[in-house]
Structure 1
């Protein structure tokens, strides 16, 4: 057995053992797709101890490249919207913009999609093409449509899929608009995060079909949701839990913060809810629901650390910090952000602090709601 085949087998064994890979059809599909074929352009790895995070490239054939391809890890393949591993000699500290998702999450999501033979599937976010290939191996290329926002990323995925002689329908464009040419779909799956589920996905899914997407926001907490499309054009379903995180679709990214408000102004008071709620995945998700337009930054001011929420659209802001064992908040603007956070978290705790798996997402023409 070659090194590549052995590494592939070990990855399949790990995914089976951790419960990501559960059923025989998906096991066969995953076994048919060698991940390294989708990483021949190399990937980036973090530089140990770097702050802010720095990246260095790992190219095909270099030490550790093949092992990395079959590690159950997400691998960054593009930085700052255009930069790929071949462009870099040394280190770069810009933000990642495309990646190959860790295989166990890919297979967990595909298992959760509950596909059946013959289903037409729309994939939002082709990325490297790995998950597209697994879909093709499971359902056949004629049943798979995948759309990618970035033309260069799409071209590399098409080349990789061609090496495996897989030719699904590949579309370059805004995945938030879906692809009406192949509708209606029995299943829609998104490998990018969204703040709200786009109406086009619901319109292009047949009644009774499923949409699987990671719903999150600008505070960085997100969860998988599996929505069933109803005859009246709405969709609803549970959060599946597990703390799934994807890069937000580019049109859903936050606006630049710009010039910060004067944080010395505003009204200050004590608060029983400290900024530590922003460091917990579940409570941060709930804060995000309460103030969906807020962005977070951490500042060291006057010898203390302040966690600051800023809503650029309304101009509202809140700065939370601890002094002598007491939490204080200072806020200003038309909507007192921390008041809203306190009210939302208070209601959630009064309800018994339900887990995120007990939340339901509903998407209707008038908007999206998430409640417990």
Structure 2
């Protein structure tokens, strides 16, 4: 790398860090130093940019090559923007990509939204000397940051895609951080690795795999996204092994979450948009004004207690659909009216969940029982008859497949 380009990328990293600090996202000094020292350009040497509009098939892409002078400024802006960077289509090899227009395919690997990476590593309270394990590291950005904090030979990633595992390991080796990427299925854990102080999953799962809990050292922390069939309202689960050897887990709603494990089929509202716009539904009065987006505790409960719903975040007013029942609800006009369509009264279900959430004390967090060795994982907002409660779905019904569905609009991120 030339001296001029090195100075440019250092300045971009500094600006990125200043932005994260100004937004109140970045607070830790060790992670700050890691963000300043780890060159993102070495881990994200190319990027796909979507050219066609949402919902248009086949999708039109453009591949930016960071080494090409005509792409360099756009590429540098993108990889330091904090946005998710698209890296791989349909599990392709990453050493033979061609710059320029590309048609079709779905993204199977990408970097994480920068704020989510920082928040995850800070939630884990990562520090020097800790053994760190990451499931689904993708191109290895968060793994590289973790290695910069923990020290060499302490950070390991488990990556199912062989092409991506080789790509990430090559990049990490060039940086000399002493991080390792192992090809394997994250759901099987990493039994050969012993116990880990910090475990981060960049893969959304319906419940915590028992193999993950077994890997958690005393006083260890495990962080993962809990995924449902909707990408709209993800949950973040923090599991801690106490000094006494027990396991405690807290679930909270978040604005974004990681993509689900391979084979997990999300609901999709995009094909329904033309019909919803043409026929928003029959108006009726409602006792529930559209809840705010940051009422995460409510929306998380709705994902489980009114399953099968998905929100269209591109709609002008709050629009929530049940694709399997060909039903939807469109808020408005006004706060006391809603339009409903189909056999399933989507808004009535949300009214019911909201009323129960209010009676439960408007919880923001939920306790989860995670039995050692497996078993049903129960969620509850607290004790008593008014508490909200449900059981997490098991892993077994989720089939495996060779490709992953394309990233839906908003609300989701893929791990680094």
TM-score range, shorter chain: 0.7 to 0.9
Describe the superposition over 1:333-367 as per-residue Cα deviations: whole angstroms up to 9, x where unpaired. Answer: xxx9988665433311323433x3x3333323332
Q: CA deviation at 1:238?
A: 4.4
Partner of 2:135: 124
Provide the C-alpha distance between the structure 1 equivalents of 2:241 and 2:348, rounded to a whole number of angstroms.
Answer: 35
1:80 aligns with 2:90: yes
Q: For residue 50 of structure 2, what is the aligned residue in structure 1?
A: 46
After superposition, give the CA deviation of every residue in 1:191-249 in whole Å (9 maximum; x if it has no partner): 2222212111111102331111122322112133222125566431242x541322112
How far the C-alpha of 1:115 sits from its partner, in A, is 2.4
Q: Aligned in 2, Cα 1:330/1:275: closer, same or farther, shift over 3 Å?
A: farther
Q: Does residue 1:101 correspond to 2:116, yes or no?
A: no
In structure 2, relative to structure 1, the CA distance for the partners of 1:45 and 1:232 (3 Å cut) is: same
Residue 302 of structure 1: aligned partner = none
The residue that corresponds to 1:353 in the other structure is: 362
* Structure number having the greater strand percentage: 1
- Contact 1:227-1:237 at 8 Å conserved across structures: yes
Compare 222-231 and 181-190 and name the one that shifted more.
222-231
Aligned to 2:64: 58
Alignment pair present for 1:237 and 2:244: no
1:135-284 to 2 correspondences below 5 Å: 135-220=146-231, 221-230=233-242, 234-239=247-252, 242-254=254-266, 272=286, 282=296, 283-284=298-299
What number of residue pairs does the alignment pair up?
A: 344
Counterparts in 2 of 1:326 and 1:217: CA distance versus 1, 3 Å: closer
> Which residue is equivalent to 1:261?
none
Gaps of 5+ in 1: 258-267, 299-305, 312-316
Matched residue SS, 2:143: helix
SS where residue 97 of structure 2 aligns?
A: helix
1:81 Cα deviation (Å)?
Answer: 3.6
Aligned partner of residue 178 in structure 2, secondary structure: coil
User: Which of 35, 40, 43 is 2:40 aligned to?
Assistant: 35
Partner residue in 1 for 2:275: none
Q: Report which stretch shifted further, 31-40 or 189-198.
A: 189-198
Conserved? CA contact 1:148–1:154, under 8 Å: yes
**Distance across 1 between alignment mates of 2:102 and 2:301:** 36
- Return the alpha-carbon distance in structure 2 between the equivalents of residues 199 and 341 of structure 1: 32
Matches of 1:140 and 1:281 in 2, distance apart? 38
Q: TM-score, normalised by structure 1?
A: 0.78
Structure 2 SS opposite 1:117: coil
The 4+ residue runs of structure 1 with deviation greater than 6 A are 273-281, 336-340
Displacement of 1:164: 0.7
- Quote the offset at 1:371 in angstroms: 3.1
SS in structure 2 of the partner of residue 367 of structure 1 = coil
Question: Residues 65 and 173 from structure 1, CA distance in 2 versus in 1: closer, same or farther, beyond 3 angstroms?
Answer: same
Change in Cα spacing, 1:320 to 1:140, as seen in structure 2 (3 Å) is: same
Contact 2:320/2:346, CA 8 A, preserved across alignment: no
- What TM-score do the two structures reach when normalised by structure 2? 0.70
Query: For the residues of structure 2 that align with 1:205 and 1:87, how far apart are their CA atoms?
Result: 42
For 1:359, what is the secondary structure of its paired residue?
strand
Is the Cα contact below 8 Å between 2:126 and 2:149 reproduced in 1?
no
Where does residue 13 of structure 2 map in the other structure? 8
- The 1:206/1:96 distance shift into structure 2, 3 A limit, reads same
Query: Is 1:286 aligned to 2:298, yes or no?
Result: no
Identify which of structures 1 and 2 has the higher relative contact order when contacts are C-alpha pairs closer than 8 Å and 6+ apart: 2
Q: Is 1:114 aligned with 2:119? A: no
What's the secondary structure of 2:21's corresponding residue?
helix
Aligned residue for 1:162, secondary structure, equals helix
- Quickly say closer, same or farther: Cα 1:48–1:340, change in 2 above 3 A: closer
